Chain A
Amino acid sequence: MTMEAYRYEDGTISYPGHPRSRDGAEPVETIDLSEYTGEVITWTTSTATPPGVREPNTLAIVEFDVDGETVRALGGTTIDDVEIGQTVTPVHVEELREPGVGIKPADGPQEWDGYRFEPV
């Protein structure tokens, strides 16, 4: 399991990956962000969560530096007491929310595992 970001021909990186970069360049390689640490840009704790989602649900936007190019990712956190500027690392979670409880079918294209951020 990897936290797969795309690097494009124009040098930019995005997470998640897209068929083209913001400026239309094609992807040239993948980068596993789970091997990096990142910095919390902002965070919130949501208390009104959809069906199948933990409550409360603390989420953060984290910025990674990959060889001088920045890339951001959104994810849940493993703790509720988060701070802007905190250094975190992705940790794999088998089930981020309960499959099939919300509007999307459990056996559809939606992936249910992924990474949450844990303070270093």
Chain B
Amino acid sequence: MSDSVAVLGGSMTKFGQRDAWICELLAEAGSACLADTGVSPDAVDHLYVSNMASGEFEGQTGVMNALAHDLGLVPAYSQRVDQTSASGGAGIYAAWQSIKSGASDMTLLVGGEKMTHRSTAESTDVIASITHPAEYKHGVTLPSFAGLTARLYLEQFDAPRESLAEVAVKNHENGVRNENAQFRTEITVEEALDSPIVADPLRLYDFCPVTDGSAALLFCPVAVAEEYADDYVVLSGVGGATDTHVVHERDDPTTMNAVVDSSDRAFEMAGLEPDDIDVAELHDMFTILEFLQMEAVGFAEQGRAWEQAMDGRTRLDGDLPINPSGGLKSKGHPLGASGVAQGYEIYEQLVGEAGDRQVSADAGLACNVGGFGNCVTTAIMEARQ
């Protein structure tokens, strides 16, 4: 076994509607990451590509091989990682395994997705194909799971509808400060509450957009990182877990069991507790998921996360800034890229390169969710001591 795993550097493309196709997006982020760290392509032993559905979206498969060729990484080992929307987080897990096992001394992870050339209805159907056939035949979508859960949460915990709008307002505000975010416009609570219904009681501003984009991270043992840079971070904890495929079979629909399990494992590995985390990127594909993950990770008691959104604790100037990047809600959600981009935001926060959205942080957490909590990875990073 080798020593601790370092994140040596990272990059992300502009998220939004892009002319580039999947291979070009992946190459853009991967090339920038190598340039940022000064690592030569021939030093890369392993390449992981996080991607959910390039075959379904644009008929392009084999993207890991294509990227290895495009970046001059041949004959590095390459592998595509698909864990639906959690593909990026699963890529972080795979990269950590590759370094920690000693199989690789330099692992490049690139996540990406090209989606906007499809209509929203088509993209929704591609994503809904992850559901069980007994769910799919009813026309269920991921947004409708969010509507079902949000109604139960608001009723069960007496939470005001405005608290969900506050999540959207906060994340749009943060996105204004992120030059790579898809949406860089502020919204008000009133605008969020007056927007069109998508899955009652949730409305348009409760949902992330359809997005193109890519992000990359470079991993190596800490001893190797010392040779390249002074400003790396340590990936001190990583955990992964699954929940039931069929969402309605879960005992408590408002508890994200896989978030509980994956974050417990990450905290145990890092030797940290929720109170030790200074900044977090949570998978706010829908506003309700920010509350459910805060509670499952241990940042709030069950049914109480909405209070923290209302009192401003999760804003950039609060005690626990959540989604300083703008989150999936504002930054965008190119499926395979999102988990990698979450990790990149935590990296930037810990090395002090987050610009206008910089917070004071020694430890950060990224939680990446696939499906409606079906499969989850949690990563904890710490600033170099």
Contacts and interface: CB of A to CB of B under 8 A. Distances in A.
Interface of A: 14-16, 22, 41-54, 57, 59-61, 72-76, 84, 96-97, 102-104, 109-114
B152 interface: yes
Q: Chain A at the B interface: mostly helix, strand, loop or mixed?
A: loop
15 contacts: A16-B134, A43-B148, A44-B144, A44-B151, A45-B200, A47-B197, A50-B124, A50-B139, A59-B139, A73-B248, A74-B247, A96-B139, A110-B136, A114-B137, A114-B138
Interface stretch (B28-36, B96-104, B125-133, B311-319): B125-133
Contact of B128 (A41, A50, A76, A114): A50
Interface of B: 56, 120-122, 124-126, 128-129, 132-141, 143-144, 147-152, 155, 196-202, 244, 246-249, 253
A48 B199 contact: yes
Nearest to B155: A84
A103 B126 contact: yes
B137 A46 contact: no
A43 B128 CA distance: 18
B129 A104 contact: yes
Contacts of B248: 61, 72-74
A54 B132 contact: no
Nearest to A17: B134
Which of the listed residues B134, B143, B198, B253 has the most CB atoms from chain A within 10 Å of its own CB? B134
Contacts of B151: 42-44, 84
**Would you list the 7 A-B pairs with minimal beta carbon distance, nearest first?**
A44-B147, A53-B139, A50-B125, A42-B152, A16-B134, A46-B144, A45-B200
Contact of A49 (B126, B141, B150, B152): B141
B125 A103 contact: yes
B148 A44 contact: yes
A113 B124 CA distance: 21
B243 to A, nearest CB: 11
Contacts of A104: 129, 136
Nearest to B145: A44
Contacts of B121: 48-51
A60 B139 CA distance: 12
Contacts, number: 124
Given A47-B197, A47-B199, A50-B128, A41 B139 contact: no
Nearest to A49: B139
Nearest to B197: A47
Nearest to A15: B134
Contacts of A111: 133, 137
Contacts of B201: 44
Contact of B244 (A22, A45, A76, A96): A22
A16 B138 contact: no
B139 A46 contact: yes
Contacts of A57: 138-139, 144
Contact of B200 (A14, A44, A76): A44
A3 B196 CA distance: 35
Given A102-B125, A114-B138, A46 B198 contact: yes
Contact of B125 (A51, A75, A109): A51
A84 to B, nearest CB: 6
Nearest to A41: B152
Contacts of B122: 50-51
Contacts of B202: 44
A84 B151 CA distance: 9
A95 to B, nearest CB: 9
A35 to B, nearest CB: 18
Given A41-B152, A45-B200, A47-B196, 10 more contacts: A42-B155, A42-B253, A47-B199, A48-B124, A48-B143, A51-B121, A72-B249, A75-B138, A76-B139, A112-B137
Given A41-B152, A59-B138, A59-B148, A48 B126 contact: no
A74 B137 contact: no
A60 B148 CA distance: 7
Contacts of A47: 196-200
A73 B132 CA distance: 12
A48 B127 CA distance: 13
A16 B246 contact: yes
A74 B151 CA distance: 15
B59 to A, nearest CB: 13
